[in-house]
Amino acid sequence: MKIINKIDDCREEAGALIKKGVSIGLVPTMGYLHEGHMSLIRLAKKECERVIVSIFVNPSQFGPNEDFKKYPRDSRRDEKLSEEGGVDYIFRPAAEEMYRDRHSTYVEIEGLSKIMCGRFRPGHFRGVATIVLKLFNIITAQKAFFGRKDYQQLVIIKKMVSDLNIDMEIIGCPTIREKDGLAISSRNRYLDNEERHNAGIIYESLKIVGSGIVSENSDLDKLRRKAIKNLRGSKYIKRIDYFDIRDAETLEEIRDKGSKDILVATAVWIGNTRLIDNIVIEKGKQRQIDI
């Protein structure tokens, strides 16, 4: 496994592979790798001949009062897990390498960036889209792998790739969960023991809506209210930023379930930790919850 810090070196390595006709899978991460990332790496290894994991805690996607500084970092551990996972290259640039003096170009995805998490994290998806586009330009992979836990991010990146005619396949991978259903996330480590013990309620609440839809309950608003009531019943849920039921493709709010894939997504605060999660209920006669 090779660790690369410089953009030019990374471009050169990737370019040499492409010239030889070797396919590249890119797994963009902010490091502090966990089982969610490892599942992306496994899929990338299955689908591509070489796997590049990028590790970059991207300052431009954090708001001024967000957790950029305290975001967990552990480069030794990241290296070890990547090596064990069969990663071929880690691309881990410094902040000054990615954002030069006077960086002023940003990618905006209108509409999709303003709803859901975008309402509470202004500028977040602009930062995400910009860094992802930069990575795509440096590492011209055939496929890039993203977790469905960050569902809105996945939709936005797919939209950017389509709108800007980027020649790359974006693959969304299932959310990996703890035994109690909590979606695995680097931010889970912010939770204290008691908070962690009670965090399963997020997934539980999503499933209230999911099960309702699967069992042919058509009143989405009623299901939503039931789920929110369940969350509010826990003293550990300090705030609910949103709890939305949307078209899983366009992210438009829906009032009835129709014949589309349905996204149920939420962002809640447990203590001082903001966590997001979602489930998708697939269309079709036998609706299935895809977790």
Using CB under 8 A as the binding rule, whether residue 70 contacts a second copy is answered as: no
Tokens of 70: 């305290």
208 CB neighbour count, 10 Å cutoff: 18
**Which residue lies nearer to a second copy by CB, 15 or 86?**
15
Query: CA dist 70 to 76, 105, 205, Å?
Result: 17, 26, 29
Q: Per CB under 8 A, which region of 30-38, 131-139, 253-261, 270-278 contacts a second copy? A: 131-139
37 included as an active-site residue: yes
Pick from 9, 67, 108, 195 the residue near a second copy by CB under 8 A: 108
Q: Does 5 bind a second copy (CB under 8 A)?
A: no
Reduced to 3 states, what is the DSSP secondary structure of residue 278? strand
- Our CB check for a second copy shows the closer of 24 and 176 to be 24
Among 46, 100, 179, 255, binds a second copy (CB under 8 A): 100
Q: How far is the CB of 28 from a second copy (least distance, A)?
A: 14
Number of residues that bind a second copy (CB under 8 A): 28
Residue 86 found at the interface with a second copy (CB under 8 A): no
Find how far residue 276's CA is from the centre of its chain.
Answer: 10
**What's the CA gap between 181 and 114, in Å, rounded?**
28
Q: Which 142-201 residues touch a second copy, going by CB under 8 A?
A: 159-160, 162-167
Spatial separation of the C-alpha atoms in residues 282 and 262, rounded to whole Å: 6
Which residues make Cβ contacts (< 8 Å) with residue 110, sequence separation at least 6? none
Number of Cβ atoms within 10 Å of the Cβ of 72: 16
By C-beta, is 167 or 216 nearer to a second copy?
Answer: 167
Q: Which residues are catalytic?
A: 37
